Chains A and B, each alone.
Chain A
Amino acid sequence: MSWFANLQTRSKLFVGFGVMCALLIGLAAIAYQEMAGMQRLERTEVDEAGTAKEVSIQLRADQNHGRASLLMFIVVHDAAQKAAIRREDELRSAAMDAAIDTIKAFITRSGVQNVTTSVAEVERNLATYREGRAEAFRLADTGKLDSALALTVSPTQEQRYERLRISIYAVGDSLEAHQAVAVAQSTQLFTNTVRTFVAIAIASVLFALLMVWVMNRLIAAPLKAVTGIAERIAAGDLTMQVEAEGRSDEVGAMQRALRTMVANLRASNQELQSGFSVLASSSTEILATVSQVAANASETATAVAETSTTAEEVKQTAHVSNQKAKNVQETAQKAAAVSDAGRKAVTETLQGMEHIREQMESIAESVVRLSEQGQTIGEIIASVNDLAEQSNLLAVNAAIEATRAGEYGKGFAVVAQEVKSLAEQSRQATTQVRTILMELQKATSTAVMATEQGTKAVAAGVKQATDAGESIRVLTGSVSEAAQAATQIAASSQQQLVGMDQIASAIANIQQATTQNMAGTKQLESSAQSLQELGARLKVLVERQRVEA
């Protein structure tokens, strides 16, 4: 019955009431059919059969008439009468044909079986009879009345006539039998119809009961179940499972929808719960962050205040540096003048050095001359010493001779001694002179060395003076550069001042913005607080819904 269960309710109702209607309609149809059948029977089987029977009777009559007319045709000699008889016979033949056609039509319509052969027999017989009749008529027409008559009464024709009559009678009987059968059938049909009505009525009642039960099970019960579930959902219990029978009708759709709804509710509830948890935590975080931002904002405010103070200080410093730069400029100019003087002094120093060098050279020359003359003196002294030594030796020899002379040599010995002492004195003097000469030599060499040193010193001094001059020049350059730099510094410190003013105003703006920031942060803090409370409340609210069984 799943296919039925899967139908739409509309369709189910259609089916149910439809079946009922169908039964009803079937009943009606059957009734109609039965009635119609009965009517048909009445008409065709009974009336038409009667009509057919009558027609067959008429056929017999016509046959008879025909026979009679043929005889009359043969008998009568009046052409006009003949013609009239012929005409009447033709009409009768036509009527017979029409009657046969009517019977055939009736047979065809009613479907009577066994009459067909009879009718065919009739037709055959009629055809053969009519052959004879036609022959007879022709003979009659041609005046061969005897032959015509002979033909007409011939046993063959009579046989044919008899056969025809029998067949027509047969047909009539068949039709009558048929009619009786039809009547019996009609009665039978009526009885059947009544029985059928009763059966159908019982079946309808049963089916109605069945439909009621089915509908109840298929529609009312699930609806009740769904209602129960909905009530539980309303009460806040989302733990139940909704069974969906997988029906594709509205109830199945409703069950599925309900299941989806419950699942969605559950999911959304869980999401809500998690969302609210997130909300709670996020609002806590926001609160924390906002508090931090507030703290940072206050820190920023203090930093900004410090920065503005610093900017003021920098401005002061820029002023000072400007002043200092101007001072440096003046000092640089003075230094330039001083370096000029220094350069002049250096030039004079160089000249002095040159002078000194010349003096040193002249001193050196004098000293060298002195040294040479000292050498000459040394040579002289050496010769004097030599003389002294020789005198000494001479004195010694004299003394020796004096000793050899004995008494007479004593005076000579004295003289010799005197000479020796003189020689000794002169030697001592020469020794002294030599000593002095040596000292002189030392002194002169010292002097020469000193002069050399002095010259070197002078050269060094010249170099130093030149270096000093160079340094002074470089210094002048540096000082002028410093002066230029000082000018630039002054300019840049001026710009610095302007910049500082801008910074100060910008800092004032920042301060203002920070103050606003702080106010906004306070508001934010309170909003975060309320958000947090809201989140907590919502969480409590959501947790009332039982999601986990």
Chain B
Amino acid sequence: MPSRAIDWEAIHRRLAVAATASSEGFEHGPDEIRRILQARARAAAKPPVMPDDAERLQVLAFSLAGETYGVETCHVREVCLLKDLTGIPCTPRFVAGVMNLRGQILAIVDLREFFGLPARGLTELNRVIVLRGGATEFGLLADSIDGVRSVRASDLQESLPTLTGIRERFLKGITGQMLAVLDGGRLLADAGLKVNEQVTR
């Protein structure tokens, strides 16, 4: 038997507060709505504060297997949710499968396999970054999209000694925030990504 006495008064008060909050807080009055929207518009209307005119890269940052990568937006067509991934047999491991994106069959590449990263931790892997370079289009699996960032080119450092192997080829650089910017162009142009296999019986 719990010895503490239940303060029913306090509970009732809190419930009353919550009730009023839920009943009144959800729906704003039209004046309220207008006010909020106007505030937003004003905020949005402010000219964007431009940082210094350093050369900047627009990088789409995404996280994959606990690491943050980035790819230049010029190579990115769009991002979308992974939906209906279909595995294709007799394909290399880095080919996760294909996806139907608004009627277009898109090859999905698992960078982990491509880079030979050890699988560590749980990954959601439900975002697809559609890279487009010329005629080549494929999607990259990502855990989450962090958004488009503006990165100064001077912040990019050369690859760290720890990053070795295949990634070194495709790595453009690393920022101070541990954002590994991949060279989208090289990825798109890589012959290793091209799968041209014929199944012989």
A binds B: yes
Asked if A392 and B74 make an inter-chain contact with CB atoms under 8 angstroms apart, the answer reads: no
**Among B40, B43, B148, contact of A400 (Cβ-Cβ < 8 Å):** B148
Stretch with Cβ within 8 A of B (4 or more), from A129-137, A141-149, A230-238, A412-420: A412-420
Q: Does A410 contact B (CB under 8 A)?
A: yes
Q: How far is the CA of A446 from the CA of B76 in the complex (A)?
A: 48
**Among B44, B74, B127, contact of A404 (Cβ-Cβ < 8 Å):** B74
Q: Does B58 contact A (CB under 8 A)?
A: yes
Stretch with Cβ within 8 A of A (4 or more), from B78-86, B88-96, B171-179, B190-198: B78-86
A362 to chain B, nearest CB (A): 17
Q: Does A393 contact B (CB under 8 A)?
A: yes
Question: Residue on B with the closest CB to A411?
Answer: B48
Asked if A400 and B147 make an inter-chain contact with CB atoms under 8 angstroms apart, the answer reads: no
Question: Residue on B with the closest CB to A390?
Answer: B81
8 Å CB contacts to A: which residues of B57-75? 58, 60, 73-74
Max chain A CB contacts within 10 Å: which of B60, B145, B148?
Answer: B148
Question: Residue on A with the closest CB to B46?
Answer: A414
Q: Does A47 contact B (CB under 8 A)?
A: no
Q: How far is the CA of A393 from the CA of B130 in the complex (A)?
A: 12
Question: Residue on A with the closest CB to B40?
Answer: A418
Give the size category of B's interface with A.
10 to 19
8 Å CB contacts to B: which residues of A92-118? none
**B residues near A413, Cβ cutoff 8 Å:** 48, 148
A455 to chain B, nearest CB (A): 15
Question: Residue on A with the closest CB to B50?
Answer: A410
A434 to chain B, nearest CB (A): 15
Give 1 or 0 for each of B100-130: 1 = CB within 8 Å of chain A CB.
0000000000000000000000000001000
8 Å CB contacts to B: which residues of A390-437? 390, 392-393, 395-397, 399-400, 403-404, 410-411, 413-415, 418, 420
Asked if A418 and B60 make an inter-chain contact with CB atoms under 8 angstroms apart, the answer reads: no
**Among B44, B80, B145, contact of A418 (Cβ-Cβ < 8 Å):** B44
Q: How far is the CA of A397 from the CA of B79 in the complex (A)?
A: 6
Give 1 or 0 for each of A442-469: 1 = CB within 8 Å of chain B CB.
0000000000000000000000000000
Q: How far is the CA of A403 from the CA of B147 in the complex (A)?
A: 12
Q: Does A389 contact B (CB under 8 A)?
A: yes
Asked if B58 and A403 make an inter-chain contact with CB atoms under 8 angstroms apart, the answer reads: yes
Question: Residue on A with the closest CB to B80?
Answer: A393
Asked if B44 and A400 make an inter-chain contact with CB atoms under 8 angstroms apart, the answer reads: no
8 Å CB contacts to B: which residues of A360-409? 389-390, 392-393, 395-397, 399-400, 403-404
A89 to chain B, nearest CB (A): 197
**B residues near A392, Cβ cutoff 8 Å:** 145
Q: How far is the CA of A413 from the CA of B43 in the complex (A)?
A: 14
**B residues near A393, Cβ cutoff 8 Å:** 79-81, 127, 145
Question: Residue on A with the closest CB to B145?
Answer: A396
Q: How far is the CA of A403 from the CA of B43 in the complex (A)?
A: 21
Q: How far is the CA of A410 from the CA of B81 in the complex (A)?
A: 25
Q: How far is the CA of A418 from the CA of B44 in the complex (A)?
A: 7
A interface residue numbers (CB < 8 A to B): 389-390, 392-393, 395-397, 399-400, 403-404, 410-411, 413-415, 418, 420
10 additional contacts (CB under 8 A) given A400-B79, A403-B74: A390-B81, A393-B81, A396-B79, A396-B148, A399-B148, A400-B60, A400-B77, A414-B48, A418-B40, A420-B147
List 7 A-B pairs, Cβ < 8 Å: A393-B80, A399-B58, A399-B147, A399-B148, A400-B78, A403-B58, A418-B43
